[in-house]
Amino acid sequence: MNYIDSEYQTAGLNLPHGTANDRVRRILTAALPTPPSRTTSLYSNYWDASFFNLNRVKIFQESTDSEQSALLEIANRNLLEEAYCIENAGVGYMAKMVLLAETVEERMLYGLFAADEATHLGQISYFLPEFELTNNRDPFLRLLAEVVEGTDKTVLLFVLQVVLEGWGLSHYRRLAKECRDRVLAELFSSFLDAESRHHATGNLLFNEIPLAKSSETLITEILVRFLMVVRMGPQNLLSAIERVKGHLSRSQKIQILEELDAETHSRTRLQLLRSLVKGKSASAIVQALEERGAFVPLPAHQSVN
């Protein structure tokens, strides 16, 4: 794979958040939509325990109020950090597609899409002031960054716009629906129109491009890795519990995943992702993924070391 494994320059995961140049900051602030008035304090629990299914987990139920609060804060922040990184990578991806455009109209379209992503990034940043990435070891975000650094336009288009933008629509819709803060809920809802345009455009353009065998193979390999992350269930939630409660044994991790009903949750997400890998050009990709069991969730005992 022709990826830049360490820098992630296009994805921007290593770019600092903030600038020492106050004039640049003022210009950017003026160009972005006016920040909303918060209805809750920063780092409040925008999504409660039931959103994560933590209310079903015995170790969470038996934790002190302060431990439960700390765990929920980590889980909430992880969701915001993930959204930040997705939108940050989206800015880089759309800018890259501007350069790869083959017509003036396509260049203009991706320029507008880049503006959408930049606006979303600015709005998410409002809920993460003085942001420092703590989730850079997350396998999904690292894979996302690797894909954005790729050079095959067909692979970029299919993986990022067709599959991941389609998944993002469902993800943002759920975040908006179940968010306890009105302002943040409305913010995620406001992303949906733009994300829908990006996804629909990806489908349109992909279906017009002849799919080379090399691109098909690379798409399959990338999706196997991405789907494996989904198949293994909420590993970030396990890590959050371990940060608060201390080391968890393998049997404890298995019990937590079973109490979270992680296998059912993963199956639902995998079914959604399979529905996105569609179209005449993608039939061979679906077949290859099915042959490798990529749409089958892993039971808890196979999801932990």
What the block records as the tokens of 190 is: 């406001």
Contacts of 287 (CB under 8 A, 6+ apart): none
Nearest to 234 by CA among 209, 204, 259, 215: 259
Distance CA 248, CA 261 (A): 18
Question: What was the pLDDT predicted at 133?
Answer: 56
* Cα 236 to Cα 89: distance, rounded to the nearest angstrom: 20
Both tokens assigned to 187 = 């913010």
Residue of 15 and 232 predicted with greater confidence? 232
Q: What pLDDT digit, counting tens, does each position of 68-114 carry? A: 999 999 999 999 999 999 999 999 999 999 999 999 999 999 999 99
**Domain extents for the chain?**
53-302
Predicted model pTM: 0.89
The sign one gets for the Cα dihedral 59, 65, 66, 71 is positive
DSSP 294: T
Q: What single letter denotes the amino acid at residue 192?
A: L
The CATH code of the domain at 53-302 is: 1.20.1260.10
Find the mean pLDDT for residues 154-158: 96
pLDDT in tens, 182-221: 999 999 999 999 999 999 999 999 988 889 999 999 999 9
In this structure, are residues 273 and 230 in contact, taking their beta carbons and an 8 Å threshold? yes
How far are the Cα atoms of 61, 154, 157, 255 from residue 208, in angstroms, in the given order? 53, 10, 11, 47
CA 113 to each of CA 39, 50, 84: distance values in angstroms, whole numbers, following the listed order: 29, 34, 16
Flag whether pLDDT at 117 surpasses 80: yes
